């Protein structure tokens, strides 16, 4: 069976451009535009080169080929260790805030429930009162039956 299944192998293998080559071409085009159409010089400042590399390195996909100015796009800015403020409060995500809020609401509900101030607690207490009364009545009946049996046995022995 041929490569690629029943339909056969389609075309040749894909060839990708080298990223360094693309970077070099982009820099050459920028310098050409900046110099007014004059070919770029071979000797360039190392600081400019490194800043261009950082700029091109952050781009993804076709961003390196097309200049896009999107005011809504937020770029990732790395902070230096000296700039980071450890004592500042950490911003919580929405999920973390919701989780904390849910835990607090549960604790508040349990506190009210233990105090007997919630509807469910009142219903539970009423149910418990009814069950207690039923158990007391049943215990009283058992006690009366036991006494009646003892009296009957005492009469039978005489």
104-137 burial: b if 16+ Cβ within 10 Å, else e: eeeeeeeeeeeeeeeeeeeeeeeeeeeeeeeeee
Model pLDDT for residues 59-73, shown as the tens digit of each residue: 677 767 777 777 787
Tokens at 75, concatenated: 């770029």
Q: What is the DSSP letter of 64?
A: G
Model pLDDT for residues 57-116, shown as the tens digit of each residue: 566 777 677 777 777 877 777 777 777 777 777 788 999 999 999 999 999 999 998 888
Tokens at 144, concatenated: 């009366």
Overall pTM surpassing 0.95 (yes/no): no
What residues does each domain of the chain span? 19-62, 94-157
Q: Is 31 helix (H, G, I), strand (E, B) or coil?
A: helix
């Amino acid at each position: 069976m041929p490569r690629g299944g029943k339909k056969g192998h389609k075309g040749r293998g894909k060839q990708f451009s080298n990223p360094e080559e693309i970077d070099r071409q982009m820099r050459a085009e920028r310098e050409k535009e900046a110099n007014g159409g004059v070919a770029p010089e071979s000797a360039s400042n190392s600081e400019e080169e490194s800043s261009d590399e950082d700029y091109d390195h952050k781009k993804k996909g076709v961003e390196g080929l097309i200049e896009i100015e999107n005011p809504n796009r937020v770029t990732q800015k790395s902070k230096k260790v000296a700039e980071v403020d450890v004592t500042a409060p950490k911003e919580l995500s929405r999920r973390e805030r919701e989780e904390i809020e849910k835990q607090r609401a549960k604790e508040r509900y349990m506190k009210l429930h233990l105090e007997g101030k919630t509807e469910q607690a009142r219903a539970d207490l009423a149910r418990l009162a009814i069950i207690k009364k039923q158990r007391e009545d049943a215990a009283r009946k058992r006690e009366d039956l036991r006494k009646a049996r003892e009296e009957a046995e005492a009469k039978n022995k005489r």
